[in-house]
Amino acid sequence: MDLERSPLARPFPDMPPIDGVTLRIARARYKAWDRCDLTYVELSPDTAVAGVFTRSACASSEVELGREQARLGRARALIVNAGNSNAFTGYRGREAVEQIMAQVASALDCDPSEVFVSSTGVIGVPLPKDKAQAGIEAALVAAPCGWEDAASAIGTTDTFTKGASASAMLAETRVELAGFIKGSGMIAPDMATMLGYVFTDAAVDPAFLQEMLSKANEATFSCITVDGDTSTSDTVLLFATGKAGNRALSSWDDDGADAFYAALLGICRELAHLVVRDGEGAQKFIEIAVTGAADAASARHVGLAIANSPLVKTAIAGGDANWGRVVMAVGKAGEPADRDRLSIGFGGTWAAKDGQPLADYDEAPVARHLEGQDIRIDVDLGVGDGRATVWTCDLTHGYISINADYRS
């Protein structure tokens, strides 16, 4: 399937190497395409790992095993397969993952539990063991590659590669963070999102690494939606090699912990935004800021109700400042709201205040705002101090076209 590059695409950034991280790619040929579709990441011994995963009741074997592995806190390798999600494949799917883990563990002389596997693509087809084995054999001897090649190999309906990096000072030590992600459709995560991987040379205790990733996830990946559908394979993993030589972070009281978290949060937010910008068929990036809610969780729930509404998303696609559809979405969210205190605006212009249209409302600046690619919707519920921001994209015919042809 040949897909046009999203008009909301961003160029892949220059990203620093991470000490203790080696990237390689190979062709496993999981689908009939002439491209690399397997990314292999080798990690230095004693690398710490944290993860967040989908809450789907139909999660893949990769996710089920990954949850168990992440609790152990150590990693030596990551394998990501593209073109086949290996989800809903029963014991055959699990055997394929365990074969991959054993094969890589043998090559690295490590425990299989330190080898993490992710797969993405069509649901319901077992991952071919022969292709996986051949792909890994090729990857193990392949020349190291750069971040963009690694990111490109894990894509499916993605129209551009997605990466982000940052740095932080931990006392006198500078540490680097870099990450890449894939995702375009089936995006409405609950705890995690798509397939995303962040790497750092900082030394961080695994338990604290998990705490920081979970916190960052709640404010970023769990605040985006493309279509309201949660994947069976959603995974975000954070690896810390410790090669920077800093005194290991183990609590928020440690010098540099706040700086490291700020850098991690920034990367997670940027990666989350890039997924929305590559939403299947997307033409507009939409930020929805909800204030005046009962609490932050309520604000997020209202924001996602607006973001997931096909009526709101198609109105934005058509440049229609139909704030009545936002009213509808707020009302159906099931959260505390006061009709007579509700206020709605677009692009900094309020259309309705305190439950009614503004008498002097001028739609012209709103119409101009909706002609652009970056759209903002403001909603104040008027019942408390809770606030949250979520991100989505518009809904166009392109979404239908991509998904109608997905399995071909």
Residue 189 pLDDT: 55
Which of 8-22, 58-72, 156-170 bottoms out in mean pLDDT, i.e. has the lowest?
A: 58-72
Residue 226 pLDDT: 78
Q: What is the pLDDT of residues 29-52, one digit of tens each?
A: 998 888 999 999 999 999 999 999
Residue 1 pLDDT: 52
Alpha-carbon gap, residue 307 to 228, rounded angstroms: 9
Residue 229 pLDDT: 59
Query: Is a pLDDT exceeding 70 seen at residue 2?
Result: no
Quick one: which H or E segment has residue 327? helix 323-332
Which positions are annotated as active-site residues? 193
Alpha-carbon gap, residue 324 to 306, rounded angstroms: 11
Can you name the residues that pair with 196 across neighbouring β-strands? 181, 236
Q: What is the pLDDT of residues 276-302, one digit of tens each?
A: 999 878 899 999 999 999 999 999 999
Residue 61: both structure tokens together: 């074997």
Percentage of the chain lying above the pLDDT 90 cut: 77
Q: What is the pLDDT of residues 192-224, one digit of tens each?
A: 447 999 999 999 999 999 999 999 999 999 899
Alpha-carbon gap, residue 215 to 219, rounded angstroms: 7
Residue 122 pLDDT: 81
Long-range CB contacts (< 8 A, 24+ apart) of 337-343?
A: 337/302, 337/381, 337/382, 337/383, 338/381, 338/382, 338/383, 341/292, 341/380, 341/381, 341/382, 341/383, 342/379, 342/380, 342/381, 342/382, 343/292, 343/378, 343/379, 343/380, 343/382
Q: What is the dihedral sign for C-alpha 33, 34, 40, 41?
A: negative
Confidence of residue 408 (pLDDT cuts 50, 70, 90): very low
Residues making up the annotated binding site for substrate are 156, 182, 193, 280, 403, 408
Which is more confidently placed, 280 or 82?
A: 82
Q: What is the pLDDT of residues 333-377, one digit of tens each?
A: 999 999 999 999 999 999 999 999 998 888 899 999 999 999 999
Query: Is a pLDDT exceeding 60 seen at residue 99?
Result: yes
Residue pair 344/355 in contact by the 8 Å Cβ criterion: no
Residues making up the annotated binding site are 156, 182, 193, 280, 403, 408
Whether pTM > 0.85 for this model: the answer is yes
